[in-house]
Amino acid sequence: MLAAVAAAVLAFASPGAGAAETELRIRLWPSGRGEGAAKTWTLECAPARGTLPRRAEACRRLADARRPFAPVPSDMQCTLIYGGPAEALVTGRHRGRKVWALLSLRDGCQIARWRQVAFLTPGYRSGR
SS3 55: helix
Report the alpha-carbon angle 6-45-87, nearest 5: 140
**Residue 31's CATH number:** 3.30.350.10
User: What global pTM score does this model have?
Assistant: 0.80
Range of the domain at 41: 22-70+78-120
Asked if the structure places residue 2 within a domain, the reply is no
pLDDT per position as a tens digit, 58-111: 999 999 999 999 999 999 999 999 999 999 999 999 999 999 999 999 999 999
21 CB-side CA count, 13 A: 9
Contact 107, 81 (CB under 8 A): yes
The share of the chain scoring above pLDDT 90, in percent, equals 73
- Establish if 53 belongs to a structural domain: yes
20 pLDDT tier (thresholds 50, 70, 90): low
Residue 105 within a domain: yes
Q: Is residue 95 part of a domain?
A: yes
In a domain, 127, yes or no: no
Q: Give dist(CA 108, CA 28) in Å, integer.
A: 19
- The helix or strand, by DSSP H or E, that contains position 2, with its residue range, turns out to be helix 2-13
Taking 60 as the threshold, does the pLDDT of residue 117 lie above it? yes
Q: Say what the pLDDT of residue 35 is.
A: 87
**Mean pLDDT along residues 42-50:** 96
Number of domains in the chain: 1
Asked whether residue 5 is domain-assigned, the answer is no
Residues 6+ apart with CB under 8 A from 34: none
Task: Establish if 58 belongs to a structural domain.
Answer: yes
Q: What is the DSSP string of 91-123?
A: EEEETTEEEEEEEE-SSHHHHHHHHHTGGGSTT
* Average pLDDT score over the chain: 85
| Confidence (pLDDT) at 34 | 85
Cis bond before residue 47 (omega within 30° of 0) = yes
The residue type of 63 is A
Would you say residue 4 lies in a domain?
Answer: no
